Amino acid sequence: MSSLLHQRPLHNTLTNPSSLSPRSPSDFPKPSTIFNRTSLLLLLSLLVILGVFVPWIGLPQGLFTSSRVSISKWKDYTLAEAVANVAKNGTVVVCAVSQPYLPFLNNWLISIARQKHHEKVLVIAEDYATLFKVNEKWPGHAVLVPPAPDAQTAHKFGSQGFFNFTSRRPRHLLQILELGYNVMYNDVDMVWLADPFPYLQGKHDVYFTDDMAAVKPLNHSHALPPPGKKGRTYICSCMIFLRPTSGAKLVMKKWIEELQAQPWSKAKKANDQPAFNWALNKTAGQVDLYLLPQAAFPTGGLYFKNRTWVQETKGMHVIIHNNYITGFDKKIKRFHDFDLWLVDDHAHESPLGRL
């Protein structure tokens, strides 16, 4: 009985039987046409006001642009535009980088920033991810020269992708020379300990470093070394300085020819360095070549493996190349062991910041 005391009488819902009958259209309230017209007029007025006054009040342009516009901009960015944008005193420092090497790029940039030469750096991106990432952090300092190599294989040493990646290098350098600029090329597994530009003495066409680990006398010759067992020299293609002369252009053209004559195969698994050496050897009589001092620009096989030599030449080292070793982890560990991995504690010194 008590439960029935709290139930509503059912007949209350039916006190007005007509309330359940369907309504005619005339029974519904009509929308306010005045309100709709007013809203439309207000919206149009607001758009007009924004169009007139936004240019004067200086609102951020990014407020009215999309990421698509930025992406399109960098896709259309040419090498000529990029070099003109970053070159200082007719000189540009370039590297070629794919996405897996971004930590090495940042490490290299920190060392260059310490020598006050980072503003002339141009990153030749070998994939769109690198192009967009670098230009997002450092606008204008990355360019992609299409077509982009396969990003999945370009970083694996000895692969066809690696060959495709490195074989593009002389074309980039030749194009920069044709534009009339001096150009320094570096691999990004390098660290600058001092300013290399004072060592680029004279007006030679091509400056380079020896990739052999055998110790040279401090006053060694700056001529092209004699050929090795394979009939060619062992010059490193990872640190080159070129002036926009006919001689330097000739070497780049010959390098391109040699790469075409020695394509990658599963048997040979070539890279760009032998072709560079053949180009130097075959043009030596026509080009003014200059071997940089070993004490300042040692190969990794010397700097990281001959502690006695490192002590004897202490204070002379300028650019250290982390070669004679393969693999990201191994290279990073070696840099760590020699206090040359700067990214962890000094990322704020890089123009890219922390990636």
Determine the average pLDDT of the residues in 301-320: 98
Question: What distance in Å separates the CA atoms of residue 101 and residue 7, rounded to the nearest whole number?
Answer: 76
**Which 3 state secondary structure label does DSSP give 13?**
helix
pLDDT at 272: 79
Q: Give Cα 118 to chain centroid, integer Å.
A: 13
pLDDT, the chain, mean? 84
Give φ, ψ of 206 to 5 degrees. -135, 130
Query: Does some domain include residue 63?
Result: no
**Which 3 state secondary structure label does DSSP give 317?**
coil
Those residues whose C-beta lies under 8 Å from the C-beta of residue 167, and which sit 6 or more positions away, are 259, 272, 275
Query: Does some domain include residue 60?
Result: no
Query: Does some domain include residue 233?
Result: yes
pLDDT at 152: 52
Domain with 291 in it: what CATH number?
A: 3.90.550.10
Would you place residue 341 in the very low, low, confident or very high pLDDT band (cuts 50, 70, 90)? very high
Question: What distance in Å separates the CA atoms of residue 108 and residue 343, rounded to the nearest whole number?
Answer: 9
Query: Does some domain include residue 149?
Result: yes
Q: Is it the case that residue 50 has pLDDT exceeding 80?
A: no
Q: Is it the case that residue 40 has pLDDT exceeding 90?
A: no
Would you place residue 156 in the very low, low, confident or very high pLDDT band (cuts 50, 70, 90)? low
Q: Is it the case that residue 265 has pLDDT exceeding 60?
A: no
User: 352: which strand partners?
Assistant: none
pLDDT at 6: 39
Query: Does some domain include residue 320?
Result: yes
pLDDT at 166: 62
Give φ, ψ of 77 to 5 degrees. -70, 125
Query: Does some domain include residue 157?
Result: yes
Q: Is it the case that residue 355 has pLDDT exceeding 80?
A: yes
pLDDT at 83: 98
pLDDT at 71: 74
Tens-digit pLDDT profile for residues 132-141: 999 999 999 9
**Which 3 state secondary structure label does DSSP give 353?**
coil
CA 24 to each of CA 27, 28, 29, 97: distance values in angstroms, whole numbers, following the listed order: 5, 8, 11, 73
Closest CA to 117 of 204, 210, 182: 182
Give the structural domain span for 323: 71-349
Give φ, ψ of 126 to 5 degrees. -105, 10
Question: What distance in Å separates the CA atoms of residue 212 and residue 309, rounded to the nearest whole number?
Answer: 14
Question: What distance in Å separates the CA atoms of residue 256 and residue 241, rounded to the nearest whole number?
Answer: 17
Number of domains in the chain: 1
Q: Which of 22-31, 37-46, 198-207, 310-319 has the weakest average pLDDT? A: 22-31
The H or E element that residue 235 is part of is strand 235-242
pLDDT at 268: 63
Find tokens 């000094």 and name the residue. Answer: 346
Question: What distance in Å separates the CA atoms of residue 41 and residue 34, rounded to the nearest whole number?
Answer: 11
Question: What distance in Å separates the CA atoms of residue 126 and residue 103, rounded to the nearest whole number?
Answer: 15
Q: Is it the case that residue 15 has pLDDT exceeding 80?
A: no
Query: Does some domain include residue 33?
Result: no
pTM of the model: 0.78
Those residues whose C-beta lies under 8 Å from the C-beta of residue 355, and which sit 6 or more positions away, are 102, 103, 106, 133, 137, 347
Would you place residue 144 in the very low, low, confident or very high pLDDT band (cuts 50, 70, 90)? very high
Closest CA to 226 of 272, 284, 270: 284
Determine the average pLDDT of the residues in 198-209: 97
Query: Does some domain include residue 83?
Result: yes
Between 272 and 66, name the one with better pLDDT: 272
Tens-digit pLDDT profile for residues 83-121: 999 999 999 999 999 999 999 999 999 999 999 999 999
Q: Which of 11-20, 240-249, 338-347 has the weakest average pLDDT? A: 11-20
pLDDT at 43: 73
